[in-house]
Structure 1
Amino acid sequence: MKSEIESMHVNQVWNLLDPPDGVKAIECKWVFKKKTDVDGNIQIYKTRLVAKGFRQIQGVDYDETFSPVTMLKSIQIVLAIAAYFNYEIWLVNVKIAFLNGDLNEDVYMTQPKGFGDPQSAKKICKLHKSIYGLKQASWSWDIRFDEVVKALGFVKNEEEPRVYKKISGNALVFLILYVDDILLIGNDIPMLESVKTSLKNSFSVKDLGEAAYILGIRIYRDRSKRLIGLSQSTYIDKVLKRFNMQDSKKGFLSMSHGINLGKNRCPQMTDERSKMSVIPYALAIGSIMYAMLCTRPDVSYALSATSRY
């Protein structure tokens, strides 16, 4: 928590002032989270100070909120290109990414509990940076990142706004942003190093070296054969455990032969519907769908059949 507050001060996220007339400051809270690696092992315990953005008023506290997110298929396509041409694949993480976004609106927040200034207890925070939880936080960070990357000579893909490309002679670098993770893919190591250094000069980043994972998906690579494999075994194990199926028998077929699904198997009576209402069937389908979209297209038919009812 102290580290989080220090980050706020270093990035000049707010300054304290007396509440202006007619202004009601939004509250903030602490969020606690365990950060795990791709194998599910706990790496660090994190705390995040977030604003209660649900109390913001549109047109007063915020206006624009939309920010594009890179599609999974775009990441898969660029990884396939990297495998075919044997490009480097590096990963960089931007620390406290949203705090890099500047606020255009006047937004006021209460002082964080436990870390308020005792000599200024009645004062509130006037925000200058887009703190986590604000409606416009993602949009502000996106605008800032786009400005920095374009200044480095990257060109945005027209169809996929967070996929960039830079060409200099025979050197080529792809840059993909997914929230705060940056994939750098290219054929020229000096140019990749130069891009990484430029990013470090603009943001506080963590260099994760050769990409071993992205979005919780493990990346396996055999450069001698120019092959790349993607795995979500840890995610799938978590899904099984979540729905108490961790001891279920594993098989090679996504759907057993002879299973007939239809409306006649849906709950008909009131008591049947009541019983089914507490079973997280739709949640399970959605959890499997994420794996299907990322790494398991082989279960698409079974998922389609079971999601109809």
Structure 2
Amino acid sequence: MHANCSPSSSAEQFWVADTGATAHMTSDLSQLSLATPFLGNETITTAGGTGLSISSVGSSSLNTPQCSFQLSKVLHVPKISQHLLSVHRLCKDNNCRFICDAFGFWIQDKLTGSILLKGLCRAGLYSIPFFPSQPHPTPAASLIKQHFCFLGHPVNTSLWHKRFGHPSNIITTALLHHSQVPFSSDKVQSVCHHCLEGKLAKLPFHYPTVKSVKPLEVIHSDVWGPSPTISVEGFKYYVSFVDECTRFTWLFPMINKAEVYSIFVHFHAYLVTQFSISLKVFQSDGDGEYLSHKFQHYLLARVSISSSQSLPFSFPPPSISFTNTVLSPIPSLSISSPSPSTYEANEPLTALPPSSLPASPSATQSATQSPLPVDPDFQPESLRVVLPLPPVNLHPMTTRSKNGISKRKAFSASTSIDLSTIEPSSFKAASQSPEWQSAMREEIEALHAQGTWDLVPLPAHKNLVGCKWVYRIKKNADGSIARHKAHLVAKGFSQEEGIDYYETFSPVVKPTTVRLVLAIAAQFQWSLRQLDVKNAFLHGVLQEKVYMTQPQGFENKHYSSDFVCRLKKSLYGLKQAPRAWNERFTSFLPIGFSSFKCGSISLYSPFVACALTQEFDMKDLGQLTYFLGLQISYQSAELFVSQTKYIKELLAKVDLQDSKPCPTSCLPYHRLLKDDGKPYSHPEQYRVGALQYLTFTRPDIES
């Protein structure tokens, strides 16, 4: 805050901008309007600690050459030597910004961004001089907002017409009379070029002087899209072909505009082969999809081209097939028949089969066309029925032969799928299938039986781990569905090291170990039996305090939503879950088992003895036939291991299931360099990591 108690010797007065002042202050009472005595006990505290009394409070204005700033709640402090301008109060009352640097300041309008006032920094202060101002109005007059219009001579109405924004002659005269503004008696100019340019609408487009009189001689085409709603097949563009003579419309769906060329080639071949008619003129809107080199070459070699600028045509996009069906019987101004489907040619024509694809009116029309009169309430009083209903031949037309010309069968689309045969990706989708609902209930019952968690309020400053449902279909070796399995998986990526977990290492099985066990069983002709520990990870005991959200769809209604699960047992998805299960199983080994000394052996449940059923919840899967992607078959005293199912799944994943086998996949002794060739668009399909597990039964591909 800048306050100086010593008298000022300068004759010129300034407003000094002060960012520390909470109100405007002045020692000149004449600067205030509507001044009233100050009745409070507050004083102005200066930098030296002295207090200055306030005598009056009022309002004022800061007049500048550009504008005038309103100053409210200005305090009259007789002993203050500088006029202090509160930056906060100035910006708040005038909706502006006060910006300053080491050299000067400027005030900016917040709405328009224009600079209202600029000034220099003088002696370290941002000072604004007192500009000459108009006399202050009386207290009574200051409460009324008045508008004044000063005229040196009457202005003609043509100028007022422009000032008012080009209204009509009647409105201009009425405004001038109402405002009591003197003006000359001349009328508004008879021709105002600005009004003509801005208000007049374009004339309607003329009908073409020459029309096609034979069907399929002149075809109009246009592309509509992208559609706001994408179809199930992924179509979002549509190309239409309209016959000028009959107004019959074909419409084909597309995924992108690049398909226009191939669709037109097939459509042209369809006209030639089915109706023996050569297309003479092809008219489009001249858009980019019709201007490609191969499209132009095809048209120049076979048909004539007529392009015209397309005009915007806004029509609500209803169902495409329904729209084409509705438009077919609607009369057209360009043909004499009541509708395109009842067109009568001068020569007898054979049937034109209806389009196999749904059609829609084009979203844009040619400059030489007029919009069709689409009126849903149109019902002509008398229409001559040309063909009986239901129509047999809506479009009679001569063809070479009727043999082989038949309607395509219409197949109804299935509106439901069997959710039990797919793996849903969300709880909402899984909850619609009884099989997946049963699998989720089975998982929840197993979690409660193991005492996996307790419901407690979340302690303060504790990390909360989320959870989700993961659905898997367990299949047999032949690909049939064995069972539906739903896992409640913790979102381990949200765990914090040192808080939610410490150690995560757990031994895994080696392929040599599995081969050794299978070889010993085959050598001594032992029978292999497969056991499965139900929810093996749930047997592990957690040493850390981990808090998890309640599972979706199975929230406990007896507790509030603030309660969370404090995990006591390990859960799928936790970073320490495999280690917890390994420690739990290791603690059970003293019953008579010994550790494998030659290397790490997986503690996977199918290789434990039947004695473990007393300690864990086991499931007997019978003789070993399918294990970790390995298909095991028996023949007399021999044991055969294959990975047929794994190979098929691997080929399907990279879309190579229909590829033909080759004895030599690449040239021998061919040197491959790192920078040779072009990079693949999907490099993950060419990585050999997935082939490493295949070397379990195919060691020949390992090298």
TM-score range, shorter chain: 0.7 to 0.9
Instruction: Give the structure 2 partner of residue 280 of structure 1.
Output: 684
Shift of the alpha carbon at 1:107? Answer: 0.8
Which structure 2 residues correspond to residues 270-309 of structure 1 after superposition, within 5 A? 272-273=678-679, 276-283=680-687, 285-292=688-695, 294-301=696-703
Shift of the alpha carbon at 1:118? Answer: 2.6
Which structure 2 residues correspond to residues 1-309 of structure 1 after superposition, within 5 A? 1-120=440-559, 121-148=561-588, 150-162=589-601, 177-178=603-604, 181-183=605-607, 195-196=609-610, 198-222=611-635, 224=636, 226-250=637-661, 253=663, 255-256=664-665, 258-259=667-668, 261-263=670-672, 267-268=676-677, 272-273=678-679, 276-283=680-687, 285-292=688-695, 294-301=696-703
Question: Which amino acid is 2:628 matched to?
Answer: L
2 CA distance for matches of 1:12 and 1:230?
39
Kindly indicate whether structure 1 or structure 2 has the higher relative contact order, using CA contacts under 8 Å at least 6 residues apart.
1
1 CA distance for matches of 2:674 and 2:496?
46
Shift of the alpha carbon at 1:32? Answer: 1.4
- The change in CA–CA distance for 1:118 and 1:76 in structure 2 (over 3 A counts) is same
2 CA distance for matches of 1:38 and 1:5?
28
Whether the 8 Å CA contact 1:91–1:183 is kept in 2: the answer is yes
TM-superposition CA deviations, 1:141-179 (whole Å, max 9, x none): 01111111x1320110123243xxxxxxxxxxxxx633x
Secondary structure of 1:111's counterpart equals: coil
Whether the 8 Å CA contact 2:654–2:685 is kept in 1: the answer is no
Shift of the alpha carbon at 1:213? Answer: 2.0
Whether the 8 Å CA contact 2:463–2:495 is kept in 1: the answer is no
Shift of the alpha carbon at 1:97? Answer: 0.4
Shift of the alpha carbon at 1:30? Answer: 0.9
TM-score normalised by L of structure 1: 0.79
- The change in CA–CA distance for 1:263 and 1:152 in structure 2 (over 3 A counts) is same
Gaps of 5+ in 2: 1-439
1 CA distance for matches of 2:670 and 2:477?
35
Whether the 8 Å CA contact 1:89–1:183 is kept in 2: the answer is no
Question: Which amino acid is 2:655 matched to?
Answer: N
TM-score normalised by L of structure 2: 0.36
2 CA distance for matches of 1:49 and 1:28?
7
2 CA distance for matches of 1:217 and 1:97?
21
Secondary structure of 1:182's counterpart equals: helix
Gaps of 5+ in 1: 163-175, 185-194, 302-309
- The change in CA–CA distance for 1:77 and 1:15 in structure 2 (over 3 A counts) is same
Question: Which amino acid is 1:9 matched to?
Answer: H
% same residue = 38
2 CA distance for matches of 1:70 and 1:125?
32
- The change in CA–CA distance for 1:264 and 1:153 in structure 2 (over 3 A counts) is closer
Whether the 8 Å CA contact 1:65–1:135 is kept in 2: the answer is yes
Whether the 8 Å CA contact 1:26–1:56 is kept in 2: the answer is yes
Shift of the alpha carbon at 1:138? Answer: 0.4
More strand by share: 1
2 CA distance for matches of 1:265 and 1:160?
37
More helix by share: 1
